[in-house]
């Protein structure tokens, strides 16, 4: 069975009016009502022994190829994405007061973020559709990932980024992979609006998370968690939310496993936003059933500095259907969580990822997560993407003469070189 694709039928379906579309056309939203589209498989086709096929392959996005909407597996555009580790956190658990805390370290992906799961599928799809130019707007990670996968595929890549507002490592990635990088004098939401229009009027394939094929790749992280927990499902998934695609993708993944009978329970989905960019958290807390967008989002976690999350409807569904919740955290809480994770567990993540830990701490303190529950926090991107934020907060290493005495003297001055002396902002 390996390498051989079991043909599973799928189509595109509008999440609002239910209109169906052929998946072999370039379309991002419903032509009838304008709502988001979702890839839907006929899950009654799934063979009973699907797990045997999965078990024979390495933990990765393409392990689950039967549930990925491409027909050219052999010609997939891949860099070895997925298969990221799920780490049990003993020291952090003790600090927070939880018993079963795990983190899924998506920073281990080829370009250092979870976006690679989506791009391997999205760029493979672009080739299937005969598209030779791809584009996205990005707070950084999407552009880094798309640039790499477009290079791998040998196609042209255009990225729009908010001027001066993306982490240096991410900008560097887009440049070295040869993307046409366009800085827009505006925020992410404005850049996304522009690129959506351009992809509509030109033959350029849009690979933001409004593209439903990308989310199909991202849902495989849910499959991996189930496999890494030996068939069990955590009580709660805690995940940072920006454009709200990833939380929607995880929920879709768990729902599919449930529908095909591979899990009995479903996790509760908990989204975490940064205080200055929290349209979903603010609106749900007010009891609204629509989202009030944030005009000028601001946060130290530039990856999730998003005021008009395009996938908000899918995310609100995920949160409500799973009886989950959404919380917001301050920049100070985010940076403190980043430091804790680095110093208690040896895992260095970028600020947006630390939002999930900050949110977890808040929810535990508020009594909304019980200490006996099994919790998986999603760490979406690697810390090396954004070193500036760390350098700005911590003391610079001390400098001494090149003598043994001077070094010994420095070691003795413990208070000055104590690892992790934290200078709050």
What is d(CA 259, CA 41) in angstroms, rounded to the nearest whole number?
11
What is d(CA 298, CA 378) in angstroms, rounded to the nearest whole number?
22
Burial 127-144 (b: 16+ CB within 10 A, else e): bbeebebbbbbbbbbbbb
State which residue, 12 or 378, has the beta carbon closest to ligand AN7: 378
State which residue, 66 or 106, has the beta carbon closest to ligand AN7: 106
Task: Compute, in degrees rounded to 10, the torsion defined by CA atoms 357, 361, 364, 368.
Answer: -60
- Give how far Cα 128 sits from Cα of 24, 84, 121, Å: 8, 27, 10
- Taking CB under 6 A as the rule, does residue 124 contact ligand AN7? no
**Partner residues linked to 87 by β-bridges:** 103
- Taking CB under 6 A as the rule, does residue 93 contact ligand AN7? no
- Taking CB under 6 A as the rule, does residue 389 contact ligand AN7? no
Using the rule CB under 6 A, give the single segment among 32-40, 146-154, 256-264, 345-353 that binds ligand AN7. Answer: 345-353
Pairing assessment for the beta strands 156-162 and 86-88 based on DSSP bridges: unpaired
| Contact characters 168-197, ligand AN7, x per CB under 6 A | ------------------------------
**Nearest approach, Cβ of residue 53 and ligand AN7 (Å):** 28
State which residue, 54 or 312, has the beta carbon closest to ligand AN7: 312
Which one-letter DSSP state was computed for residue 29? B
Token couple for 280: 């979903």
- Taking CB under 6 A as the rule, does residue 209 contact ligand AN7? yes
State which residue, 46 or 87, has the beta carbon closest to ligand AN7: 87
Q: Of how many residues is the chain composed? A: 425
| Residue 251 buriedness (CB in 10 A; 0-12 / 13-18 / 19+) | buried
- Taking CB under 6 A as the rule, does residue 341 contact ligand AN7? no
Beta strands in 23-139 (DSSP E): 37-41, 86-88, 100-105, 133-137
**Nearest approach, Cβ of residue 145 and ligand AN7 (Å):** 8
State which residue, 60 or 139, has the beta carbon closest to ligand AN7: 139
The angle at the Cα of 414, spanning 409 to 418, to the nearest 5 degrees, equals 130
State which residue, 139 or 173, has the beta carbon closest to ligand AN7: 139
| Contact characters 246-285, ligand AN7, x per CB under 6 A | x---------------------------------------
- Taking CB under 6 A as the rule, does residue 381 contact ligand AN7? yes
**Partner residues linked to 174 by β-bridges:** none
- Taking CB under 6 A as the rule, does residue 299 contact ligand AN7? no
- Taking CB under 6 A as the rule, does residue 242 contact ligand AN7? yes
Q: Which of 87, 283, 299, 380 binds ligand AN7 (CB under 6 A)?
A: 380
State which residue, 117 or 362, has the beta carbon closest to ligand AN7: 117
What residues make contact with ligand AN7 under the rule CB under 6 A?
Answer: 113, 138-142, 209, 240-246, 303-304, 350, 352-353, 380-381
């Amino acid at each position: 069975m390996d390498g051989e694709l079991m043909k599973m039928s799928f189509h595109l379906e509008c999440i609002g009016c239910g209109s169906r579309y052929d998946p072999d056309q370039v379309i991002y939203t419903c032509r009838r009502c304008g709502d988001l589209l979702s890839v839907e498989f006929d899950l009654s086709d799934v063979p009973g022994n699907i797990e045997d096929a999965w078990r024979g392959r390495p933990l990765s996005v393409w392990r689950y190829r039967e549930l990925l909407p491409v027909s050219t597996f052999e010609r997939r555009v891949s860099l070895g994405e997925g298969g990221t580790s799920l780490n049990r956190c003993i020291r952090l658990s003790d600090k927070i007061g939880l018993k079963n805390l795990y983190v899924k370290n998506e920073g281990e992906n080829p370009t250092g973020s979870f976006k690679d799961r989506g791009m391997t599928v999205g760029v493979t799809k672009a080739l299937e559709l005969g598209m030779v130019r791809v584009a996205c707007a990005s707070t950084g990670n999407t552009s880094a990932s798309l640039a790499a996968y477009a290079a791998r595929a040998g196609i042209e890549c255009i990225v729009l980024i908010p001027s001066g507002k993306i982490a240096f490592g991410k900008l560097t990635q887009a440049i070295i992979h040869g993307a046409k990088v366009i800085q827009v004098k505006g925020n992410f939401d404005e850049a996304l609006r522009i690129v959506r229009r351009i992809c509509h009027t030109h033959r350029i394939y849009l690979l933001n998370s409004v593209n439903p094929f990308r989310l199909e790749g991202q849902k495989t992280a849910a499959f991996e968690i189930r496999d890494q927990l030996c068939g069990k499902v955590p009580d709660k998934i805690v995940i940072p939310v920006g454009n709200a695609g990833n939380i929607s993708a995880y929920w879709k993944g768990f729902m599919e496993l449930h529908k095909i009978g591979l899990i009995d329970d479903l996790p509760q989905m908990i989204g975490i936003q940064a205080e200055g960019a929290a349209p979903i958290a603010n609106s749900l807390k007010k009891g609204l059933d629509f989202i009030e967008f944030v005009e000028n989002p601001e946060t130290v976690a530039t990856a999730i500095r998003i005021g008009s999350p395009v996938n908000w409807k899918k995310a609100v569904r995920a949160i409500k259907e799973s009886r989950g919740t959404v919380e917001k955290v301050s920049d100070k809480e985010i940076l403190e969580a980043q430091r804790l994770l680095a110093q208690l567990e040896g895992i260095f993540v970028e600020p947006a990822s630390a939002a999930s830990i900050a949110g977890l701490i808040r929810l535990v303190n508020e009594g909304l997560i019980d200490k006996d529950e099994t919790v998986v926090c999603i760490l979406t991107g690697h810390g090396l993407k954004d070193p500036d934020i760390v350098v700005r907060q911590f003391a610079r290493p001390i400098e001494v003469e090149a003598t043994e005495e001077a070094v010994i003297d420095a070691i003795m001055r413990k208070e000055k070189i104590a690892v992790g002396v934290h200078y709050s902002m």
